[in-house]
């Protein structure tokens, strides 16, 4: 009777993970993870911030393109002046003697004098009051630095987009691993809870045997100590499950205690992967970090061209039209218009352009080295992820066999315990071995999923939207 009760607890409790795998679940693991990843791509704050960075770079590209188009501005100036240079024009000194002679000649002929006497004129260089209001149009005709600046900004925009893609893939990995960690902790709680139920039953049996005088009190105390130890393990497992739940919800920008949909691990988690060399090649072709550095290197090349072409001459068209004078008036005598071809060639700037060229070249060389470094890091990530996945898959069969063996040994120990042919220490050791094997099996089978997610990230495989749409 007691053996049957132990086996019932065993079937319901310590084998909870296997029972969950056989029970119908609401959703498939990959489907649930994909839905959570999609939610994370929409709501994660870090990804939203990176999306804004992409938008900012796109506006910088629009700003660079705007330099191709004419610029029209309205300029108005009102001036009041006091003092300044005065130009004296001796008109009276020059003309009055002539006018006097002519007047004398007219009087002698009996005609009235017609020519007045005039005074010298003083013209101030600055008007006391003046306004100048005009529309100014400037159109670049030849400016070689503008196309290079546009190409540089386009490369920076592509680099920012690839950086967002890299962040999205890292988020996909983190969400998957966090979900697997939560499932692992949740299953561990179930296993430890089942072990607690076994030890409670064991303590009840020992107390009954002690009451009937069949065993000594030390066996009861040992059973109680084991039960308290498992209760402590259960609290620790529950704490780990709560932390895993909070971190998972943090990645999705949800309330930290929001419920999570549980699933069972897929049966095909141990599928074979491609050869390591093929995975290396796949990762170097697909990883957005490589493309991001390549775009940054192209932007540096364009920066070199910009620095060089700053030395070249520029030609632009300038048109000015408006009104000027002492009053705000329009019409003849006030309106004006000019059209100009403006040629600019900076002959000397103290070596600033040359320094900018060298600076851009150094930045390009730095990015070339960075690109090689990232390629080596990616190869290392792929190899480590591949080795961890292979190790986890190889350990899965061993962990399952260990759990089966420990389960069978515990059944035997339970029967011997009921027959009184096994010591309390041996029975508790069998229980501890079973719990340890179950926890190891639980950890190993979920570890395969986590290692798979890491390899998918390292090789940049797995479905993910190119535009997270946040």
Query: Is residue 335 helix, strand or coil?
Result: strand
Which of 437, 271, 290 lies closest to 374 in space, CA to CA?
A: 290
Q: What's the token pair of residue 272?
A: 């074979």
Q: CA-CA distance, 265 to 183, in Å (whole number)?
A: 9
Q: CA-CA distance, 362 to 300, in Å (whole number)?
A: 9
Report phi then psi at 119, rounded to 5: -105, 160
Q: pTM (2 decimals)?
A: 0.75
Q: What is the pLDDT of residue 96?
A: 83
Task: Report the range out of 46-60, 223-237, 394-408 with the highest average pLDDT.
Answer: 46-60
459 Cα distance to chain centroid: 19
Q: CA-CA distance, 53 to 59, in Å (whole number)?
A: 10
**Sheet containing 129-142, strands listed edge to edge, beginning at the edge strand earlier in sequence:** 71-80, 129-142, 314-325, 335-344
What is the rounded average pLDDT of the residues 432-440? 85
Q: What is the pLDDT of residue 339?
A: 94
Look at 33-37, 39-43, 261-265, 384-388 and tell me which has the smallest mean pLDDT: 261-265
Q: CA-CA distance, 163 to 465, in Å (whole number)?
A: 14
Q: What's the token pair of residue 124?
A: 């101030």
Q: What's the token pair of residue 312?
A: 């070249």
Domains and CATH numbers, the chain: 2-74+140-317+348-459 (1.20.1600.10)
Query: Is residue 273 helix, strand or coil?
Result: coil
CB 458 within 8 A of CB 378: yes
Q: What is the pLDDT of residue 470?
A: 37
Q: What is the pLDDT of residue 161?
A: 93
Q: What is the pLDDT of residue 269?
A: 55
Look at 46-60, 152-166, 278-292 and tell me which has the smallest mean pLDDT: 278-292
Share of the chain above pLDDT 70, in %: 89
Q: What is the pLDDT of residue 435?
A: 83
The neighbouring-strand residues paired with 135 are: 74, 321
Q: CA-CA distance, 110 to 399, in Å (whole number)?
A: 141
Q: What is the pLDDT of residue 168?
A: 92
Residue with tokens 């072709």: 285
What is the rounded average pLDDT of the residues 300-317? 90
CB 122 within 8 A of CB 86: yes
Indicate if the pLDDT at residue 428 is higher than 60: yes
H/E/C letters for each residue in the chain? CHHHHHHHHHHHCCCHHHHHHHCCCCCCHHHHHHHHHHHHHHHCHHHHHHHHHHHHHHHHHHHHHHCCCCEEEEEEEEEECCCCCEEEECHHHHHHHHHHHHHHHHHHCCCCCCCCCCCCEEEECCCCEEEEEEEEEEEEEECCHHHHHHHHHHHHHHHHHHHHHHHHHHHHHHHHHHHHHHHHHHHHHHHHHHHHHHHHHHHHHHHHHHHCCCCCHHHHHHHHHHHHHHHHHHHHHHHHHHHHHHHHHHHCCCCCCCCCCCCCCCCCCCCCCCCHHHHHHHHHHHCHHHHHHHHHHHHHHHHHHHHHHCCCCEEEEEEEEEEEECCCCCCCCCEEEEEEEEEECCCCCCCHHHHHHHHHHHHHHHHHHHHHHHHHHHHHHHHHHHHHHHHHHHHHHHHHHHHHHHHHHHHHHHHHHHHCCCCHHHHHHHHHHHHHHHHHHHHHHHHHHHHHHHHHHHHCCCCCCCCCCC
Q: What's the token pair of residue 81?
A: 């002046």
Q: Pseudo-torsion of CA 459, 465, 469, 470, nearest 10°? A: -30
Which of 149, 187, 248 lies closest to 19 in space, CA to CA?
A: 187
Query: Is residue 80 helix, strand or coil?
Result: strand
| CA-based end-to-end distance of the chain | 61
The DSSP letter of residue 27 is S
Q: CA-CA distance, 204 to 193, in Å (whole number)?
A: 17
Neighbours of 91 (CB within 10 A): 12
pLDDT category of residue 409 using cuts at 50, 70 and 90: confident
The DSSP letter of residue 23 is S
CB 230 within 8 A of CB 201: no
pLDDT category of residue 22 using cuts at 50, 70 and 90: very low
């Amino acid at each position: 009777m007691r053996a049957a009760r132990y086996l019932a607890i065993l079937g319901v409790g310590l084998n909870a993970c296997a029972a969950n795998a056989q029970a119908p679940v609401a959703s498939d693991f990959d489907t649930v993870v994909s839905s959570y990843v999609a939610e994370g791509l929409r709501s994660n704050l870090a990804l939203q911030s990176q999306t804004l960075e992409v938008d900012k770079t796109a506006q910088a590209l629009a700003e660079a393109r705007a330099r191709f188009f004419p610029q029209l501005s309205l300029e108005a100036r009102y001036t009041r002046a006091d003092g300044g240079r005065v130009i004296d024009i001796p008109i009276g000194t020059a003309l009055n003697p002539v006018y006097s002679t002519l007047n004398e000649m007219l009087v002698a002929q009996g005609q009235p004098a017609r020519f007045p006497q005039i005074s010298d004129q003083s013209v101030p260089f600055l008007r006391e009051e003046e306004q100048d209001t005009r529309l100014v149009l400037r159109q670049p005709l030849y400016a070689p630095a503008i196309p290079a600046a546009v190409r540089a900004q386009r490369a920076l925009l592509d680099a920012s987009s690839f950086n967002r893609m890299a962040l999205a893939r890292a988020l996909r990995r983190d969400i998957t691993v966090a979900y697997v960690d939560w499932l692992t902790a949740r299953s561990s709680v179930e296993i430890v809870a089942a072990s607690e139920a076994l030890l409670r039953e064991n303590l009840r049996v020992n107390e009954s045997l002690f009451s009937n005088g069949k065993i000594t009190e030390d066996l009861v105390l040992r059973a109680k100590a084991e039960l308290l130890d498992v209760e402590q393990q259960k609290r620790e497992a529950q704490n780990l499950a709560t932390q895993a739940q909070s971190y998972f919800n943090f990645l999705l920008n949800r309330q930290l205690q929001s419920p999570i949909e549980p699933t069972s691990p897929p049966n095909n988690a141990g599928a074979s992967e491609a050869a390591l060399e093929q995975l290396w090649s796949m990762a170097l072709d697909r990883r957005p970090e490589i493309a991001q550095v390549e775009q940054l290197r192209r932007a540096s090349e364009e920066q070199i061209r910009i620095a060089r072409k700053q030395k070249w001459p520029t030609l632009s068209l300038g048109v000015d039209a408006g009104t000027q004078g002492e009053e705000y008036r329009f019409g003849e005598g006030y309106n004006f218009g000019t059209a100009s071809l403006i040629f600019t060639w900076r002959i000397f700037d103290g070596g600033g352009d040359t320094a900018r060229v060298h600076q851009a070249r150094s930045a390009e060389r730095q990015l070339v080295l960075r690109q090689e470094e990232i390629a080596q890091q990616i190869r290392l990530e792929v190899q480590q992820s591949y080795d961890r996945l292979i190790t986890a898959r190889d350990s899965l069969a061993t962990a399952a066999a260990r759990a089966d063996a420990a389960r069978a040994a515990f059944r035997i120990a339970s029967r011997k315990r009921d027959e009184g042919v096994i010591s309390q220490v041996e029975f508790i050791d069998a229980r501890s071995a079973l719990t340890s094997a179950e926890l190891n099996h639980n950890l190993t089978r979920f570890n395969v999923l986590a290692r798979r997610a890491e390899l998918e990230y390292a090789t940049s495989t797995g479905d993910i939207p190119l535009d997270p749409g946040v």
